[in-house]
């Protein structure tokens, strides 16, 4: 079972991150749902209000296990090869987690102004429910 990455499909930064992760992972560990796909989000119990707080990561084996915002970005990194060491180091330095959380909030709240908004929603190569080997 996979982890479901819910991202803003209209945000240039978010879609670039998603495309990079897709190229690296090739659908093995993650599948993706743009926040604009309300039907698929409803299947997972995700509302538009939930999406306002940033990206969401859901454990496909245990859907009650969810991470959001900077915690989702950290968990995605943690799941990647050698990511656990990077996240352990990041969390071990006093104050860095707090600064990372604040930086995420600023980027989330200003993403369209700083990185631009797409004319159309980006739909992933490895969508929710995609079964790749």
Q: What is the pLDDT of residues 18-46, one digit of tens each?
A: 999 999 999 999 999 999 999 999 999 99
Predicted pLDDT at 40: 93
Residue 120 lies in a domain: no
Residue 71 lies in a domain: yes
Residue 65 lies in a domain: yes
Residue 125 lies in a domain: no
The pTM of the full predicted model, rounded to 2 decimals, is 0.91
Domain containing 32 equals 3-115
H/E stretch holding 114: helix 96-115
Residue 132 lies in a domain: no
Q: Which of 28, 29, 62 is nearest to 44 (CA)?
A: 62
Q: Which of 14, 9, 127, 112 is nearest to 72 (CA)?
A: 14
Residue 14 lies in a domain: yes
Q: What is the pLDDT of residues 87-102, one digit of tens each?
A: 999 999 999 999 999 9
Residue 49 lies in a domain: yes
Cα angle: 105, vertex 110, 112; to 5 degrees: 135
Number of structural domains in the chain? 1
Q: What is the pLDDT of residues 4-20, one digit of tens each?
A: 999 999 999 999 999 99
């Amino acid at each position: 079972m996979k982890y479901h990455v819910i991202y803003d499909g209209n945000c240039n930064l978010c879609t670039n991150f998603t495309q990079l992760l897709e190229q690296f992972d090739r659908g093995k560990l993650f599948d993706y749902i743009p926040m604009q796909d309300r039907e698929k989000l409803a299947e997972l119990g995700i509302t538009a209000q939930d999406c306002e707080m940033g990206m969401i990561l859901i454990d496909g084996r245990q859907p009650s296990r969810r991470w959001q915002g900077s915690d989702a970005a950290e968990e995605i990194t943690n799941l990647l090869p050698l990511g656990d060491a990077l996240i352990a180091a990041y969390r071990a330095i006093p104050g860095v987690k707090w600064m990372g959380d604040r930086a995420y909030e600023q980027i989330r709240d200003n993403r369209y102004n700083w990185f631009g908004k797409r004319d159309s929603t980006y739909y992933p190569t490895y969508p929710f429910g995609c079964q790749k080997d």
